[in-house]
Amino acid sequence: MTGLRTVLLGCVAATAMAGLASAQQMTTVKVGMVRSITSGSTLIAIERGYYKEVGINVEWENLDTSATALASLAQNQFQVVMGGISAGYFNALEKNLPVVMSVSRASTPIGHNLMLRPDLVDVIKSPKDLKGRVIASNGPGSISTYEIGKMLEPYGMTLNDVDVKIFPFTQYNLAFQNKAVDAGLVIPPWTDQLAKEGFAKPFLDADKLVRPSPLAISVEFINTEWAKNNPEVARNYYLATLRGIRDYCQAYHGGAIRKQLIDVLVKTGTERRPEMLNEYVWPARDPYGEMFPESLLDMQKWFLENKFINKAFPIERLVDRSFTDYARQKLGPFVIENKDSKLAGCGKAMEQG
């Protein structure tokens, strides 16, 4: 009996040591995340153990904006930051900070709309009627401001013809209600929500007007020095990340994983209203993490021409595709599970008007 007990204790100890060794071999990657529905790809990858399978423990922290987090990324306080593209990124490159775009986070169709105050629907009948009007954007050098400028261009107008005011998306309903703005560049889920509650009316569809297209509006940024010093970890991180993106795309198209992904979004507080996730169309993603260089170069050109940035860079400095290329080679083609889905995006072609 004593011998058996000794053997059992030895087995327990060996198991514990093996678990400890396994834990010690895990590499922690710190991620700063501006949470949105598209965060579901990373959250589902954590939930399903994709990162742990490749020896990575993801520690994520909620951010208000990616613009201010780029400095923390450059200092390696985060290894990855997720958020919208802005003039701040191009300015960070001018300062030679060790950051680069690595994978898209939200892409065409983006579902953005320049919406009007309901009482102005019969007054502003053409985009030219916006001249001198107040238009809301969520940031002076944000992707939303770029979109406003691009949507005005076909009508011979620029940002100088309108008065752009900055409001957080969460305050758009009050801005419309109090008549502080005449129009606003609105993103999901507020596009549906503001229309449903009568605060604003759809006017101009960004997917039909913003060119070149397709485009990515939100991305992941990575610390280039960390990636250079930890190439295998960086590649494996994006292998797991792309698996999560593909799960998101399956859920987007109504695949079997949709309920689990919604549960993860609600559980993490990313979206506390399940009805929003069930009733409204989600932002699309590219299952290969494509960044769409033509569009990205146009953003840079527009920010430069409108004096939000001072310098332009070649596409090789703006984007590092090596991570997604590696993951794509490992995972192979993406195939949509739900063949009956009518939604464009997330692996399904979108007609360009």
Last residue of a domain, one of 175, 209, 243: 209
Q: Do residues 222 and 289 both lie within one domain?
A: yes
> Is residue 159 a contact partner of residue 148, using CB atoms and an 8 Å limit?
yes
Tokens 């949709």 locate to 258
| Domain match, 104 and 120 both | no
Distance CA 98, CA 85 (A): 16
Q: Is residue 6 part of a domain?
A: no
Structure token pair of residue 110? 């983006």
Alpha carbon 212 to chain centroid distance?
Answer: 19
**pLDDT, position 291:** 94
In a domain, 264, yes or no: yes
Can you spell out the DSSP letters for 212-248? S-S-EEEEEEEEHHHHHH-HHHHHHHHHHHHHHHHHH
Q: What share of the chain is helix, strand, coil (3-state, %, to 5)?
A: 50, 20, 35
Among residues 209, 235, 263, the one where a domain terminates is 209
pLDDT tens digits, 173-228 = 999 999 999 999 999 889 999 999 999 999 999 999 999 999 999 999 999 999 99
pLDDT for the residue numbered 13: 39
Burial label for 165, CB within 10 Å (0-12, 13-18, 19+), is: middle
Q: 130-155: per-residue pLDDT in tens?
A: 999 999 999 889 999 999 999 999 99
In degrees and rounded to multiples of 5, residue 199 shows phi and psi of -80, -25
229 and 295 share one domain: yes
Domain that holds residue 148: 113-209
Q: Do both 268 and 177 map to the same domain? A: no
- If asked whether residues 229 and 98 sit together in one domain, one would say yes
Helices (H) and strands (E) in the chain, counts: 16, 10
Omega before 109 within 30 of 0, i.e. cis: yes
pTM of the shown model: 0.89
Q: Considering only CA atoms, which of 132, 124, 148, 312 is closest in space to residue 200? A: 124
342 by Cβ neighbours in 10 Å (0-12 / 13-18 / 19+) ranks as: exposed
Is residue 79 within 8 Å of 300, Cβ to Cβ? no
* 298 and 257 both lie in a single domain: yes
347 within some domain: no
Q: Per the domain annotation, does 8 fall within a domain?
A: no
What the block records as the tokens of 52 is: 């742990």
Do 202 and 220 fall within a single domain? no
173 contact partners, CB below 8 Å, separation of at least 6: 190, 194, 197, 199
Cα dihedral 161, 164, 169, 175 sign: negative
274 in a domain, yes or no? Answer: yes
Q: 126: domain CATH number?
A: 3.40.190.10
Mean pLDDT of 232-248: 98
Tell me whether residue 225 is in a domain: yes
β-partners of residue 82 are 33, 220
Per the domain annotation, does 12 fall within a domain? no
Assess whether 219 and 101 both reside in one domain: yes
Question: Which pLDDT tens digit goes with each residue over 271-280?
Answer: 888 888 998 8
**CA dist list (Å): 147 to 3, 21, 121, 126:** 75, 50, 21, 17
Mark whether 223 and 281 lie in a shared domain: yes
Single out the residue in 209, 243, 260 at which a domain terminates: 209
> Tell me, what's the pLDDT at 64?
74
In a shared domain, residues 326 and 219 = yes
Cis peptide bond N-terminal to 212, omega within 30: yes
Q: What is the largest CA-CA distance in the chain?
A: 92
Q: Are residues 326 and 221 part of one domain?
A: yes
Domain total of the chain: 2
**pLDDT tens-digit profile of 73-118?**
999 999 999 999 999 999 999 999 999 999 999 999 999 999 999 9
In this predicted structure, what is the pLDDT of residue 161? 98
Q: Residue 4: inside a domain, yes or no?
A: no
User: Do residue 227 and residue 199 come from a single domain?
Assistant: no
